[in-house]
Amino acid sequence: MSLKNRLIEYTQTLNEVQVDHPFKKFPDYKALRHKCNGKWFGLIMSVEKNKLGFRSNDMVEIIDVKSDPELISIIKNSSGLLPAYHMNKNHWITIMLDGSISFEQIINLLNHSYNLTI
């Protein structure tokens, strides 16, 4: 099972979460949001690597999650983590879903985002 599918499956174990498709232009993008307030705590996307600063047009799956600016400044240059794609880079970070960061680490960052936005 892909990391993306594992993440979506994991979100179903969280309290009061809905997964939807916020952009008609990008029907494969999935927003992870709280049912109680509608706030996003994650956005799963497939984008070309060149949009993330790589020299490749290959597609890669990513998730943007919310985080603390202090934590972002510490971890943003770690393997598999990038400044947020298409979100506020002070409050969001992009996680590559290519195996460069463990599922457990992704879950920790996703849970942190979930708690920040509730």
pLDDT given at position 68? 95
Share of the chain above pLDDT 70, in %: 100
Q: At 31, is the pLDDT very low, low, confident or very high (cuts 50, 70, 90)? A: very high
For 49-100, the pLDDT digits (tens) are 999 999 999 999 999 999 999 999 888 778 999 999 989 999 999 999 999 9
Q: Give the model's pLDDT for residue 101.
A: 95
Q: Are 97 and 2 in contact (CB under 8 A)?
A: yes
Tell which residue, 49, 51, 11, has the closest CA to residue 30: 11
Contacts of 55 (CB under 8 A, 6+ apart): 49
| Paired residues of 62 in beta bridges | 45, 96
CATH topology of domain 3-117: Aspartate Aminotransferase, domain 1 (3.90.1150)
Torsion of CA 27, 13, 38, 117, to 10 degrees: -120
- The alpha carbons of the chain give a radius of gyration, in whole angstroms, of 13
Rounded Cα gap, residues 28 and 111, in angstroms: 22
Query: What's the confidence (pLDDT) of residue 72?
Result: 92
